[in-house]
Amino acid sequence: MNDERGFSAGSVILAFVLGGIVGAGIALLTAPQSGRETREKIKEFADETRKKANEYAGQVKDKVSSAVESGKHFVEEKKSLISTAIDAGKEAYSKEKEKLSKG
């Protein structure tokens, strides 16, 4: 699903997530609070980011697996068609060869 600029939906989502991470990190570092509070917020933020990254990675893995399975099915289908065409070609060649040898 590419738009006219060539960006896929996955790229846009990844850019959005990374932008959010950078923005939240800057907000944590510039907020007026104690060191302990900042460390706790950074830890919470890191844990949340790790969870989101794992979810995103899982979604990407599912999509890739689906695409691979679809590709395998496509290849098997085309391999069968090519094999059938080759067999038909061999049969036609044999029949033509027989005609020429008799004539």
Residue 35's alpha-carbon distances to 21, 23, 46, 56, 73, in angstroms, are: 20, 19, 16, 31, 56
The answer to whether the Cα torsion of 39, 40, 46, 49 is positive or negative is negative
3-state secondary structure of 1: coil
If pLDDT is split at 50, 70 and 90, which confidence band does 88 have?
Answer: very high
pLDDT tens-digit readout, 6-36: 667 777 877 888 888 888 777 777 777 777 8
What does the buried/exposed string (b/e) look like for 32-60 if buried means 16 or more CB atoms within 10 Å of the residue's CB? eeeeeeeeebeeeeeeeeeeeeeeeeeee
How far, in Å, CA of 103 to CA of 37, rounded?
A: 97
Q: Is the pTM of this model over 0.85?
A: no
- Give the start-to-end residue ranges of the domains of the chain: 9-102
Q: How many CB atoms lie within 10 A of CB 102?
A: 6
pLDDT tens-digit readout, 24-78: 777 777 777 777 887 888 788 888 888 888 888 888 888 888 888 888 888 888 8
If pLDDT is split at 50, 70 and 90, which confidence band does 2 have?
Answer: very low
Q: How many CB atoms lie within 10 A of CB 10?
A: 13
